[in-house]
């Protein structure tokens, strides 16, 4: 295992440097190998690694501008041909320049043509989210699964009445303990159980590659393939994702690509480092990290976004119960990431309307649709001004009305009607035509100018769409 890890560590050090530059996008450094195969990263010294790497891989170079590997060789993430796990594992190898183990592609119709409206008030990529904002909540998150420990974890969560979020890696080749295809049993039942038990399902990409280091095409495939396999089981796919190794820089184009695909990038503010401590003798370190963070504040004022990995035995069988007890004792509730951010459940997934009767559509159709505002306010994203007594438009001040201030620049098309430019007619968003980036629901902190520009662009687009019908 020690030998297998080294190429990864070198990339990981380079990744650190890149992401210091990319501070605006992901201020959290990727101190997180976030993959079971690379569990003891901290024990090795970065400066010696590059030397060892060159000595170790005697094969030819490969990669962008160099070329592909021949005769079944895989191109490692650092650009060497070979046949070992560190060349060929789906999570590290460069599929465009040689063979890769079990990355493959899922069966079923692609999702790439389906509209991806930005819904709700939560920032979408390129911005990333590292913290919860509802006091008294803790979002425990579990990456890389499901695997053989996940069912036990679900039993435990039921016992404690806790909701959590699972960041799912779809490719069977990228799992620590392979339990087969995600859309076959037993994985499919585990996924359905997650959803019906009140947990949130999010994407951790198809095969756990470093999204900052692969081509834009491969990056897109990493998300779209995971959408297909999750859709095969659930009828839709998540709008929340976490980049493997927390790596998704703006320089590489990754952060913008995630925005174009309609994703929220979710990081964390407590790293349990459970991947380093998967041993009865050391898991106490992870418990201590969790406890000492909670001890820094009160539940009435704080909330936390915690990363762990259900694919580790000690995490599923030991650490999680400790966290559930501690958080309850301190007065916190264990909720999903969506709940700890105040984002309603209907914004967590995108439906594939070509399939019906799947778990996600049942879950969402059991919820009532948007209600007309009764008090003239439209701050709550499930409230619409359409049909209210205060006016049809939800303005940037989160109030319903019919003046330019409500219906013009900053008007929220998802929660009512808006007016077309130059005092044109009121316009409602046809659901199918909402597949736009930068809708007026963009994050509050964005500048007015930017919102105005994107709002106008959206209206012009919608006007065009209406005219060409
Ligand atoms: C967990 O989710 C279910 C279903 O959405 C919900 O009814 C329940 O209140 C949630 N529990 C907590 C602690 O938020
Ligand atoms: C759980 O963790 C504790 C340390 O916090 C350890 O002493 C104990 O052996 C672990 N239990 C199991 C079943 O591994």
Query: Could you give all domains of the chain from N- to C-terminal order, each with its CATH number?
Result: 2-97 (no CATH), 128-362 (3.20.20.370), 370-467 (no CATH)
Q: Using the mean position of ligand 1's atoms as its centre, give its distance from the Cα of residue 163 in Å.
A: 6
Whether the predicted pLDDT of 33 surpasses 50: no
Q: Using the mean position of ligand 1's atoms as its centre, give its distance from the Cα of residue 236 in Å.
A: 21
327 versus 380: the higher-pLDDT residue is 327
Mean pLDDT of 152-161: 97
Helical (H) or strand (E) element with 321: helix 320-329
- Catalytic residue list contains 309: yes
Q: Token digits for 117?
A: 């409206």
Q: Is 32 within 8 Å of 245 (Cβ atoms)?
A: yes
Whether the predicted pLDDT of 133 surpasses 70: yes
Whether the predicted pLDDT of 449 surpasses 60: no
- Going by alpha carbons, the residue nearest to atom 5 of ligand 1 is 198
Q: In DSSP terms, which residues pair with 63 in a beta bridge?
A: 67
Mean pLDDT of 286-309: 97
DSSP 81: E
Range among 115-124, 337-346, 378-387 rated most confident: 337-346
Mean of per-residue pLDDT scores for the chain: 78
Whole-model pTM above 0.75? Answer: no
Whether the predicted pLDDT of 124 surpasses 80: yes
Kindly give the number of the ligand 2 atom that is closest to the alpha carbon of 287. 5
The residue annotated as part of the active site, out of 34, 89, 143, 183, is 143
Euclidean distance between CA atoms 463 and 427, whole angstroms: 9
Find the range with the poorest average confidence among 54-63, 120-129, 171-180, 456-465.
Answer: 456-465
DSSP 128: E
Whether the predicted pLDDT of 464 surpasses 60: no
pLDDT for the residue 425? 65
Q: Using the mean position of ligand 1's atoms as its centre, give its distance from the Cα of residue 333 in Å.
A: 10
Euclidean distance between CA atoms 377 and 365, whole angstroms: 25
Q: Is 77 within 8 Å of 95 (Cβ atoms)?
A: no
- Exposure b/e, 141-154, CB count within 10 A at least 16 = b: bbbbbbbbbbbebb
Euclidean distance between CA atoms 182 and 231, whole angstroms: 11
Q: Which of 227, 220, 461 is nearest to 350 (CA)?
A: 227
Say if strands 81-82 and 74-75 run parallel, antiparallel, or are unpaired.
antiparallel
Helix ranges (H only) for 81-215 are: 85-88, 150-159, 187-196
- Ranges of beta strands (E only) in 128-269 are 128-129, 137-143, 165-168, 200-203, 236-238, 240-241, 264-266
Measured from the CB, is residue 287 less than 6 Å from ligand 2?
yes
- Catalytic residue list contains 87: no
Kindly give the number of the ligand 2 atom that is closest to the alpha carbon of 314. 14
- Could you tell me what percentage of the chain is helix, strand and coil, using 3-state DSSP and rounding each to the nearest 5? 35, 15, 50
Q: Token digits for 348?
A: 């967590």
Question: Around Cβ 185, how many Cβ atoms within 10 Å?
Answer: 10
Kindly give the number of the ligand 2 atom that is closest to the alpha carbon of 322. 5
Three-class SS of residue 266?
Answer: strand
Q: Which ligand is nearest to the CA of 313?
A: 2
Which pLDDT tens digit goes with each residue over 83-112?
877 777 766 677 778 877 655 788 889 999
Q: In DSSP terms, which residues pair with 143 in a beta bridge?
A: 167
pLDDT for the residue 316? 98
Euclidean distance between CA atoms 116 and 455, whole angstroms: 17
Q: Using the mean position of ligand 2's atoms as its centre, give its distance from the Cα of residue 191 in Å.
A: 28
At 349, the pLDDT band (50, 70, 90 cuts) reads very high
Q: Which ligand is nearest to the CA of 288?
A: 2
Q: Is 147 within 8 Å of 171 (Cβ atoms)?
A: no
Q: Which ligand is nearest to the CA of 280?
A: 2
Three-class SS of residue 349?
Answer: strand
Q: Is the dihedral of CA 116, 118, 123, 126 positive or negative?
A: positive
């Amino acid at each position: 295992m020690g030998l297998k890890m080294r190429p990864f560590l070198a990339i990981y050090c380079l990744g650190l440097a890149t992401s210091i530059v990319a501070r605006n996008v992901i201020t959290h450094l990727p101190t997180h190998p976030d993959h079971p195969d690379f569990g003891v990263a901290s024990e090795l010294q970065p400066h010696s690694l590059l030397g060892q790497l060159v000595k170790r891989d005697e094969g030819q170079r490969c990669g962008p501008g160099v070329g592909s590997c021949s005769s079944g060789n895989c191109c490692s993430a650092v650009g060497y041909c070979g046949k070992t796990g560190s060349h060929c594992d789906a999570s590290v190898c460069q599929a465009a320049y040689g063979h890769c183990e079990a990355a493959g592609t899922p069966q079923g119709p692609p999702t790439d043509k389906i509209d991806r409206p930005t819904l709700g008030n939560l920032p979408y990529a390129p911005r990333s989210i590292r913290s919860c904002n509802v006091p008294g909540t803790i979002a425990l998150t579990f990456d890389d699964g499901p695997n053989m420990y996940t069912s036990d974890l679900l039993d435990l969560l039921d016992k404690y009445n806790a909701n959590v979020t699972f960041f799912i890696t779809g490719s069977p080749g990228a799992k620590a303990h392979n339990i087969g295809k995600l859309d076959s049993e037993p994985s499919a039942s585990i996924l359905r159980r997650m959803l019906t038990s009140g947990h949130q399902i999010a994407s951790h990409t198809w095969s756990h590659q470093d999204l900052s280091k692969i081509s834009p095409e491969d990056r897109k495939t990493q998300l779209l393939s995971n959408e297909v396999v999750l859709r095969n089981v659930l009828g839709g796919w998540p709008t929340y994702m976490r980049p493997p190794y927390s790596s998704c820089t703006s320089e590489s184009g990754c952060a913008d690509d995630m925005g174009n695909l309609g994703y929220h990038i979710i990081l964390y503010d407590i790293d349990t480092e459970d991947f380093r401590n998967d041993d009865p003798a050391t898991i106490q370190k992870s418990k201590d990290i969790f406890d000492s963070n909670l001890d820094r504040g009160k539940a009435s004022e704080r909330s936390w976004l915690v990363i762990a990995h259900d694919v580790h035995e000690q995490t599923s069988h030991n650490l999680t119960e400790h966290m559930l007890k501690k958080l309850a004792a301190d007065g916190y509730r264990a909720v999903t990431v969506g709940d700890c951010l105040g984002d309603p459940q209907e914004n967590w997934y995108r439906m594939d309307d070509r399939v019906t009767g799947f778990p996600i559509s049942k879950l969402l159709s059991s919820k009532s649709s948007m209600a007309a505002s009764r008090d003239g306010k439209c701050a709550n994203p499930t409230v619409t001004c359409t049909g209210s007594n205060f006016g049809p438009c939800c303005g940037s001040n989160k109030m319903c009305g019919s003046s330019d201030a409500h219906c013009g620049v900053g008007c929220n098309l998802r929660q009512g009607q808006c007016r077309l430019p130059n005092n044109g007619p009121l316009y409602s968003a046809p659901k199918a035509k909402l597949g736009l980036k930068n809708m007026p629901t963009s994050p509050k902190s964005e500048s007015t100018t930017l919102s105005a520009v994107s709002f106008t662009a959206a209206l012009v687009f919608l006007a065009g769409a209406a005219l060409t019908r």
